Structure 1
């Protein structure tokens, strides 16, 4: 029996979810987003499981180089682009593609003396106001990139939605309209749709879609779960029941004594806590799947342990498996109880957790 929590990663589920993306956007190529260690699932193993994707996207150059070192040969796009001109020869040597989103990057490309040309994605800020050139800069950047000797012909055009996870948001239609107006007379390939837009904004699919969260079986919408979009959860986070104790009505549990038993009951202790990545701010009542039934978290989350209410007549024994999220218990539910989003839960898994990969 493992003494460590286990994050079981179902690689077959990743393949299924990619196929679902391809069904939703059959005319588009898939740029699979693998940033932040593939959303906490393991960068290299997930990339290997996504062999049918057309290309990969990461945030930073170290992630791209890790994929190349592991033997991944598919195109890789740096979503944040390069930070300084000294990185350009590294991009060229490793066949990495870069997003351009500001003047400094454009000037660096214009001044570069490279032995070859780089594939460039030009990012336009249509309303996210994070990365990207302004609409007013678009024509100038487009012209200068076409004239730049360091840039391959055929730049790609992209933007990013700010509210696609809010179905029916006016902001989404405004961004789509602006992007289409700017690019309507351009023959270059275009990319706008993230996970939420792949599902709910089919008119935005374009030449490339950029799925991230949905590849891992999770809904990008607050009030929905992955299964509602025919997705399969990829990560199953589990641990073990390591102690049981009976407490009396009125007794408290955990730091701060902020949970008090309303009746005599049994408390179970499960070996996982915020030191493993379980959310510290999960409140009493957060569900845990324990040996085939749902029980509730009580008291504060500790660094190494959580406590659950087993009721007056528990059927579990020490060593019973507890699932914190997975096929039995949707991570979207846990995120609500912790007042956060599934992205954060996935990315916060720590090295104390044992990763296991399965293919069923």
Structure 2
């Protein structure tokens, strides 16, 4: 028998969350973001879950080509663009769109003869200060792209730093929109603005965030970028990480458990050993008290997470036994709640699930 640790991917929830994005941004086309192996869900299942998206967006050039091999015929966008002049031919061969965020990428396109027209997405840096041209540099970059014979459509794009917090003290989303409009004034092309946070704020900001394209990521996987819980946004979990109890120890008052003996029992208590550890992607730094579900009952992590195992308090589950079912996140236990307890974000937990964890498909239905 295989080790009893599985990541169940709920494709029906992915479809549901995509529809939520459409409801939030009804006038926009959707790039479903599938970078990092579809946030740990797998490209094949991501393609299945987001089959009704208008396009798929990702970072990895090899996976962009793989999507074509898997049968995806709609648009594909490389969010970081190309990394080497040899990538230009790949764009034309596989009909892949590319972000353009620096002068070096423009030079690659200028110096390579394209045998087939390609579409590009010119990125403006409106305050995130990672990638993109500043607003006062943007028109010149646009003109240079427009002069390249093989460039067909140019989409105008930016990325929001704090879309989940409308009144962020350093950089508000409305200020980024203002800078974008100023830098893009008079330029022809579709607009691409909102990430998940921006999509979920459309009901508040309305026309302020109107654009031709949106690029949701985490919301499609049942996580929240902030502001509210995923459930409050009407999102459903798309991944359930589940295991079983493989051993039980009876601690006495004063006994400790795990490496470092960091947890000490204050009274007699049963402790369950779960087949999951940091080598599976569960965060090693998750503290005592991180929520876990055993046989449908909420309890907590105790002791330090080790490579292959973790230990949980079985006091609330007196009938727990070897083989009892354990939910680490997902159906019934929001991934963001686990992430918050561990001082991280749901994105990281999804993406960190290790290759040795068995992945299976399963419907969540109306639960979760």
Fold shared, TM-score > 0.5 on shorter chain: yes
CA contact (8 A) 1:5 1:352 kept: no
**Does residue 190 of structure 2 align to residue 186 of structure 1?**
no
How many angstroms does 1:262 deviate by? 0.7
Partner of 1:47: 47
Tell whether the 8 Å contact from 2:192 to 2:214 is kept in structure 1 after alignment: yes
Per the alignment, residue 342 of structure 1 pairs with 346
How many corresponding residue pairs?
358
Counterparts of 2:144 and 2:24, CA distance in 1? 35
Decide whether aligned partners of structure 1 residues 316 and 121 sit closer, same or farther in structure 2, where only a CA change above 3 A counts: same
Q: CA deviation at 1:166?
A: 2.1
**Following the alignment from structure 1 to structure 2, what is the Cα–Cα distance between the partners of residues 184 and 140?**
12
Instruction: Give the secondary structure class of the aligned counterpart of 1:196.
Output: helix
CA distance in 1, matches of 2:84, 2:316: 63
Does residue 1:96 correspond to 2:100, yes or no?
A: no
Residue of structure 2 equivalent to 1:157: 156
Whether the 8 Å contact between 2:291 and 2:301 is mirrored in structure 1 is yes
Match of 1:329 in 2: 333
Please, which moves more after superposition, 282-291 or 63-72? 63-72
Equivalent residue for 2:212, pick from 204, 207, 215 = 207
CA contact (8 A) 1:265 1:312 kept: no
Q: Secondary structure at the residue paired with 1:175? A: helix
Alignment correspondent of 1:317:
321
Unaligned 5+ segments in structure 1 are none
RMSD: 1.4
* Residue 10 of structure 2 corresponds to residue 6 of structure 1: no
Q: Which runs of 5+ in 2 are unaligned?
A: none
Q: Tell me how far 1:312 sits from its aligned partner.
A: 7.7
**Distance in 1 (alpha carbons) for counterparts of 2:103 and 2:184:** 20
Contact 1:30 / 1:55 at 8 angstroms: preserved in 2? Answer: yes
Distance 1:295 1:312, change over 3 A: closer
Q: Which residue of 1 aligns with 2:178?
A: 177
Aligned mates of 1:49, 1:250 — CA distance in 2: 49
Once residues 160 and 118 of structure 2 are traced to their aligned partners in structure 1, the CA distance between those partners, rounded to angstroms, is 26
Q: Deviations over 1:47-90 (max 9, x none)?
A: 12211100110112012011112111111000110111111111
CA positional deviation for 1:313? 6.8
Tell me the distance in 2 between the aligned counterparts of 1:90 and 1:351: 28
**Does the 8 Å contact 2:135/2:184 carry over to 1?**
no
Cα distance in 2 for residues equivalent to 1:253 and 1:358: 34
Give the structure 2 partner of residue 219 of structure 1.
224
